[in-house]
Amino acid sequence: MLCLTLTGSHASECIEQFREYRNLIHLVEIRLDLLSDPDRDEVAQLCQSIDVPIILTCRRKQDGGAWEQGEKLRTALLLTCLELGVSYIDLEEDYKRQELEQRARELSVNIIRSYHDTRKVPEDMFARLVKLSKRGDIAKIAVTPQSITDTHILFNVERELADMPNKIVIGMGEWGIPTRILYKRTGSLFTYCSPEGTSAASGHLSAKTMAELYRADRVTQATQIFGVVGNPVMHTSSPMIHNPAFHQSGLDAIYVPFLVDNVRSFFKLAERLPVTGFSVTVPHKQQVLPFLGRISREVKLIGSCNTVVRKGSLWKGLNTDFYGFLQPIQAELEAGTIRKAVVIGAGGAARSVVWALRNYRCKVVILNRTAQKARKLAEETNSQWDEISAAANQEHVDLIVQTTSVGMEPNDQLNPVPDFPFSGREIAYELVYKPQRTAFIQAAEQAGCRVVYGMQMLLAQGKLQFESFTGLSYPQEPTDSTS
């Protein structure tokens, strides 16, 4: 079940939010602490407009909420609102006033007994959950993982406390996002989400994202889990490439972003969940290599892996950047019209690009800010190299490929080679995909060049990844949500 936390500061705003998301969610949390001046009449008006079960919460500041007016007033407000037909009340583990708890039981309002830690995952988390559930209430912990190891601990709850049916386990912040999406795999009764453009708690995803992109409430024990591993990772468009394609192909599968600080720890979690396959992004494309039982020819050549799939008891590494990069310029490469290419950058993506171009016997010049790295890649691939400032001196270039991270949001005004002398006859290929029209692309367009956008490569490599994950062809063009 998806629970929409209403984030408006007035009843009218909350009612609008509820109406907008009514068809996506199953219950609603009214947060009294987020209302600017909550009173019985306002909450009554709100409750009358909601036709799904309601959770009543008044979260204190120390637990991540906004309530600062003391316990006496909080109890009085909760007591009066309890009478308005709510189904659940959220009371913190250290809430001691008997009258509220007693009245909730008289009214058959379910008690969610919650514990919050906005800084860490406490060592005694399992014991705390057991204690919270002592009186037959729903035990809820909302804690803050600080690593992928912490995230793994939250997924262990389902196994360790399998006989505790009524529990909610939430990892807050970015590390916890997989626990929110895969809430059923933590054994949780429901997961919380917010209206678009707002966030009631750190790590809340929007109701639309939860319901339409991830279809989180459809996950079962049989659902195959895929994902993307990176740091940072939330900017990636890959969930928008894979999740709609799983749905269109009729597959019971989900693709989730995993923020990962330690690759070894992620592989442990991947075995535990289990994960069937995953994309790899910065900075882990080399770091996954020691954990792979098999690698493709391209991974061996490039020394970098962006796709991992389970093959029996082994993990196999592939590199779809190699072929994804080639696809938009395949016709020119096959016609032999790209003879000389300049590659800006010498990082992980540049490695795939240079190897792919050398595979077609193109002459390649690598230009990089750190000249040493350009030199190393040039030596490996039998290419030429120079410092990035030498961009101004390049002549007779058929293809220029921009592989640095310069120009990515939020620094989208920057062009790593502002002095490159475009003649208008080059193909200008940008790897950055957010924004679509980078400063580099704009300069190339002004000169009259044919341009290839980063999104074209992203989609091409994503489709190949989908095929490796599922053995099926990619169903159709993804929606505009990838842009």
Residues marked as catalytic: 285
Q: To which residue do tokens 């020119």 refer? A: 332
Residues 89-108 that bind ligand NAP (CB under 6 A): none
Cβ 286 to ligand NAP, closest distance in Å?
9
Q: Binding to ligand NAP by residue 346, rule CB under 6 A?
A: yes
Q: Binding to ligand NAP by residue 478, rule CB under 6 A?
A: no
Please tell me the distance from the alpha carbon of residue 261 to that of residue 265, in angstroms, as a whole number: 8
**Per-residue string for binding with ligand NAP, 254-293, x by CB under 6 A?**
----------------------------x-----------
Q: Binding to ligand NAP by residue 347, rule CB under 6 A?
A: yes
Q: Residue 326: left (phi > 0), alpha (psi -120 to 50), or beta?
A: alpha
**Dihedral over Cα of 327, 332, 336, 342: its sign:** negative
Residue among 5, 279, 461, 465 that touches ligand NAP (CB under 6 A): 461
Residue among 176, 227, 348, 478 that touches ligand NAP (CB under 6 A): 348
Applying CB under 6 A, what is the total number of residues that bind ligand NAP?
26
Cβ closest to ligand NAP, residue 140 vs residue 351: 351
Q: Binding to ligand NAP by residue 350, rule CB under 6 A?
A: yes
Q: To which residue do tokens 């050398």 refer? A: 358
CA 102 to centroid of chain Cα atoms: 41
Cβ closest to ligand NAP, residue 64 vs residue 283: 283
Six-digit token string for 396 = 């007779």
Residue among 9, 330, 337, 370 that touches ligand NAP (CB under 6 A): 370
- Contacts of residue 105, defined as CB under 8 A and 6 or more positions apart, other chains included, come to 111
Cβ closest to ligand NAP, residue 329 vs residue 349: 349
Selected range binding ligand NAP among 147-155, 290-298, 335-343, 368-376, rule: CB under 6 A: 368-376
Residue among 118, 405, 468, 481 that touches ligand NAP (CB under 6 A): 405
Cβ 181 to ligand NAP, closest distance in Å?
22
Please tell me the distance from the alpha carbon of residue 434 to that of residue 410, in angstroms, as a whole number: 9
Selected range binding ligand NAP among 38-46, 71-79, 328-336, 344-352, rule: CB under 6 A: 344-352
Cβ 87 to ligand NAP, closest distance in Å?
45
Q: How many CB atoms lie within 10 A of CB 300?
A: 12
Q: Binding to ligand NAP by residue 137, rule CB under 6 A?
A: no
Residue among 368, 383, 394, 438 that touches ligand NAP (CB under 6 A): 368
Six-digit token string for 315 = 């993990």
Q: What is the DSSP letter of 328?
A: G
Six-digit token string for 369 = 């800010």
User: Bridge-partner residues for 302, per DSSP?
Assistant: none
Cβ closest to ligand NAP, residue 194 vs residue 320: 320
Residues 37-96 that bind ligand NAP (CB under 6 A): none
CA 342 to centroid of chain Cα atoms: 33
Residue 434 DSSP SS3: coil
Q: Binding to ligand NAP by residue 321, rule CB under 6 A?
A: yes
Task: Tally helices (H) and strands (E) across the chain.
Answer: 18, 20
Q: Binding to ligand NAP by residue 383, rule CB under 6 A?
A: no
Selected range binding ligand NAP among 64-72, 196-204, 393-401, 402-410, rule: CB under 6 A: 402-410
Q: How many CB atoms lie within 10 A of CB 369?
A: 16
Q: Binding to ligand NAP by residue 369, rule CB under 6 A?
A: yes
Residues 436-455 that bind ligand NAP (CB under 6 A): 454
Q: Minimal CA–CA distance to 74: which of 93, 60, 54, 88? A: 60
Cβ 206 to ligand NAP, closest distance in Å?
23
Residue among 378, 444, 457, 464 that touches ligand NAP (CB under 6 A): 457
How close are the terminal C-alpha atoms of the chain, in Å?
29
Strands 307-311 and 314-318: antiparallel
Q: Minimal CA–CA distance to 383: which of 347, 359, 414? A: 359
Cβ 245 to ligand NAP, closest distance in Å?
16
Dihedrals φ, ψ of 480, to 5°?
-65, -15
Give the H or E element holding residue 191.
strand 191-193
Query: DSSP secondary structure string, 284-323?
Result: -TTTTGGG-SEE-HHHHHHS--SEEEEETTEEEEE-HHHH
Residue among 408, 412, 450, 468 that touches ligand NAP (CB under 6 A): 408
Please tell me the distance from the alpha carbon of residue 244 to that of residue 247, in angstroms, as a whole number: 5
Cβ closest to ligand NAP, residue 358 vs residue 369: 369
Cβ 459 to ligand NAP, closest distance in Å?
8
Question: What are the residues binding ligand NAP (CB under 6 A)?
Answer: 282, 321, 324, 345-350, 368-370, 373, 403-406, 408, 416, 431-433, 454, 457-458, 461
